[in-house]
Chains A and B, each alone.
Chain A
Amino acid sequence: MIKTIKQLLFIVVLLLFSCATVSCAEFSQVELDYARGFNVEEGNGYYVVTVYRPWGDSVEPESYLLIDRDKPIPLEYKNLHVIKIPVERIVTASMTMLPFIEKLAPQEALVAVGGKRYVYSEKIRNMDLPDVASDAGSGLRLDIEKLLALQPDVVFIYTYTAAEKESVDRLRKLGIPIVIASDYLEETPLGVAEWIKFVSLFLGKEKEAQSFFSEIAESYISLKSLASQSSDRPTVMVNAAIGGTWYVSGGQSWPAHLIRDAGACYLWSEVEKRGSVPIDFEKVVERALNSNFWINTSTWQSLAEGENEDSRYTIFRPFKEERVYNNNARVTSEGANDYYQQGIMRPDLILKDLISIFHPDLLPTHSLYFYRHLEERSFP
């Protein structure tokens, strides 16, 4: 009898143990609220992550199997790009992935970057990392030999063209585990920031990413609602001319969303584009001459710099009234701008800056973080 009880107990313990192992291997569900560029399916010890548009003009999605190091690859997924997780050696040539990696990964996990001189984070610059693409390279310009020698578990990269994508495929054949991140194709600022969850899947840090992103999203939404309380809707012009042609942000672009969410009226909201659009200088004069604010003015550090670049900038009302703000308060001497790095992960901080610019009464104590107020009309 006792023997039977012992046997029964053994079976119960065994069953419980096996259930426990199964539930451990079952990966937690990842919910996406804003990002439209990728999708995650959970499985037993693996994720299938699909990036819908790996690059701007792509028609074919790319799927990755992120699988536990000790698990065999399920037959049905053997054609996907396989990444063993959690990754321990990360390389990124995509600058926008860098803040996510810095936030979630242990310091020693980042083993190389591409375009090192464009890194804003002082911590990463001090890490003395090898550079795998001197120009923040896309698929075509990576240092293949260096990459092979580094034996990374994952290489984050961006591609803009079919030729770059082909080059990525060739690198994959050499066994380099490349992941094409297309966070920049997201339409909304929170959509871009939510790519932290994408990075977290590789590191096994889903919960941390989830709670961090929830805070950001909450902060963004509450700031947006604060801005919407203001009855004033100032008009905003953006960017500057290059060679007589003005490249304005499209109405669906990331800056356009931020301007509208900050309770202002973006002057080219009707342009249904995500990137920039070349517009004739005189068309900009016609529309923006009497606008209230002017932001994102190229690389200017002062109004004098703008005036020196093209004296015709002085005709715009925001220039005359010194209401010009540029997003280059945090740049390195090499030109790395934190607005395009940390700002990707912290759109709430950008929004806060913009609200304080457009509606100073709503955030009276805020001091600008990514933005600077351009003053000094004449040279010293």
Chain B
Amino acid sequence: MKRSSFVSIFFLSVFFTGCIVAILSLSLGSVSIPLRDVIRVLLGDGGVENGWKIILFELRLPRICTSLVAGGALSVAGLGMQTLFQNPLAGPFVLGINAGASLGVALATLLAGSLASLGLATSSWLGSTVVLIVMMGVAGKVKNNTTLLILGLMIGYGVSAFVNVLIHFSSPERIQQFIVWSFGSFSSVSWRQLLFLVPAACVGFCAMLFFAKQLNALLLGEAYASTMGVSVYRVRLALIVITSLLAGSVTAFCGPVAFLGVAVPHLCRQALKTGDHRILIPACALSGGVLALTADFVAHMPGSAMVLPLNAVTSLVGAPVVIWIVLRSRRGGNVS
């Protein structure tokens, strides 16, 4: 089979899987709505009296959009970090963005007690931006990407420690609010918040695509990339800003969603057998979105009133799949 047709088949099959899961997510959930009624209500006919219209338009549709955007954004950010650091364990949060966002949210919920959605997102954003500025300063001084990675992890640990101190001195109710935020969720995002999340993710995605060639060069090593005329320093700074935009925005609205950012790039590399970022970036965006949507569908346990924490589902269901795929592969999960 020709390589281009293989790639097309991959994209089409992931797309159709996404469509099926989206249709299932619209119809099945804690409240089960027959498919023909879903179509009827979506076309503006009824569903007012039993709340189905609200469930579909205000809860399920925004959740589906959020899952697709957030999953895609985290996966693309993870891909960028894995390439930059040449480390298969790197993810969107290695630069301490997650810890910075947690600190912002911890300060807002644990000290101020405010959980207003946009206020929460803003505090999360502010937290990750502070870490971003620190990391950009560090990136300007440090020559080596591994050193940058270590420093990013250390800053993350330091910030997390500060969050722990805040938690230690907080009341149980506020701790509960913070812990629930840390579980991650696509359910709390409304249309109004999507107006912020979608443009941020789109800008991040396009910017990452713009750097696809430079990322390909980085796969051959920093020294080689430099000889090819790539300014490693500039790419490094750009990637830090893009990752912060992508991962920081998702964390602001959905909490620190684990696993997808690390796993999806591996899955795409394994499936497509390529290291070309011009293919991998859209592949990660699409597969990450579809996987996130599937995880959200499982977390809502159709037929039950209960909801599982999203992070538990992404990791518990996702980790064995990735382990299986990585072990099956002869290449053992190389980043290139």
Contact = CB atoms under 8 A, between A and B. Distances in A.
Contact of B300 (A280, A285, A299, A312): A280
A312 B193 CA distance: 12
Interface string A295-317: 00011000001001111100100
Contacts of B306: 278-280
B29 A286 contact: no
A195 interface: no
B54 A243 contact: no
Nearest to B187: A244
Interface string A243-270: 1110000000000000000000000000
A241 interface: yes
Contacts of B212: none
A123 B206 CA distance: 61
22 contacts: A115-B171, A135-B168, A242-B176, A242-B177, A242-B180, A242-B181, A244-B188, A244-B307, A280-B30, A281-B187, A282-B30, A282-B55, A283-B31, A283-B305, A285-B31, A285-B55, A286-B55, A305-B116, A308-B118, A309-B116, A311-B191, A315-B54
Given A244-B63, A282-B55, 18 more contacts: A135-B169, A242-B181, A243-B188, A244-B185, A245-B180, A245-B307, A279-B305, A279-B307, A280-B305, A281-B59, A281-B187, A282-B59, A283-B30, A289-B54, A310-B188, A311-B190, A311-B192, A312-B190
Contacts of A283: 30-31, 305
B54 A245 contact: no
Interface of A: 115, 118, 134-136, 141, 241-245, 278-283, 285-286, 289, 298-299, 305, 308-312, 315, 335
Contacts of B174: 335
Nearest to B50: A286
Given A135-B170, A242-B180, A243-B185, A312 B116 contact: no
B131 to A, nearest CB: 22
Contact of B188 (A134, A241, A289, A299): A241
A308 B192 CA distance: 11
B51 A285 contact: yes
B83 to A, nearest CB: 32
B171 A136 contact: yes
B187 A243 contact: yes
Interface in B174-223: 174, 176-177, 180-181, 183, 185-192
B117 A308 contact: yes
B266 interface: no
Contacts of B63: 244
A305 B115 CA distance: 10
Contacts of B192: 311
B185 A245 contact: yes
A305 B119 CA distance: 11
A367 B206 CA distance: 59
Contacts of B59: 281-282, 285, 312
Contact of B113 (A118, A285, A299, A312): A299
Contact of A280 (B58, B113, B307): B307
Contacts of A299: 113, 115
Given A242-B177, A243-B185, A280-B305, A315 B58 contact: yes
Nearest to B301: A280
Contacts of A281: 59, 187
B60 interface: yes
B18 interface: no
B185 A335 contact: no
Interface residues of B, number: 41
Contacts of B29: 280, 282
B334 to A, nearest CB: 37
Interface of B: 29-31, 50-51, 54-55, 58-60, 63, 113, 115-119, 168-172, 174, 176-177, 180-181, 183, 185-192, 255, 300, 305-307
A118 B172 CA distance: 11
A339 to B, nearest CB: 13
A243 B181 contact: yes
A208 B119 CA distance: 49
A243 B180 contact: yes
B71 to A, nearest CB: 16
B187 A308 contact: no
A308 B180 CA distance: 19
Nearest to B181: A243
A152 B188 CA distance: 47
A280 B308 CA distance: 9
B120 to A, nearest CB: 9
Contacts of A134: 169
A115 B170 CA distance: 10
Contacts of B305: 279-280, 283
Contacts of B181: 242-243
A266 to B, nearest CB: 16
Contacts of B117: 308-310
A135 B169 CA distance: 5
A134 B185 CA distance: 31
Contacts of B177: 242
A135 B164 CA distance: 13
Given A134-B169, A285-B51, A286-B50, A335 B116 contact: no
Contacts of A308: 116-119
A136 B60 CA distance: 39
Given A243-B181, A305-B116, A282 B255 contact: no
Contacts of A309: 115-117
A278 B299 CA distance: 13
Contacts of A115: 171
B167 to A, nearest CB: 9
A78 B174 CA distance: 42
A141 B169 CA distance: 10
Chain B CB within 10 A, most for which of A241, A244, A309, A311: A244
Contacts of B188: 241, 243-244, 310
B322 to A, nearest CB: 25
A165 B115 CA distance: 32
A310 B59 CA distance: 11
Contacts of A135: 168-171
Chain B CB within 10 A, most for which of A115, A279, A285, A289: A285
A283 B192 CA distance: 22
Given A280-B305, A308-B116, A289 B51 contact: yes
A301 to B, nearest CB: 11
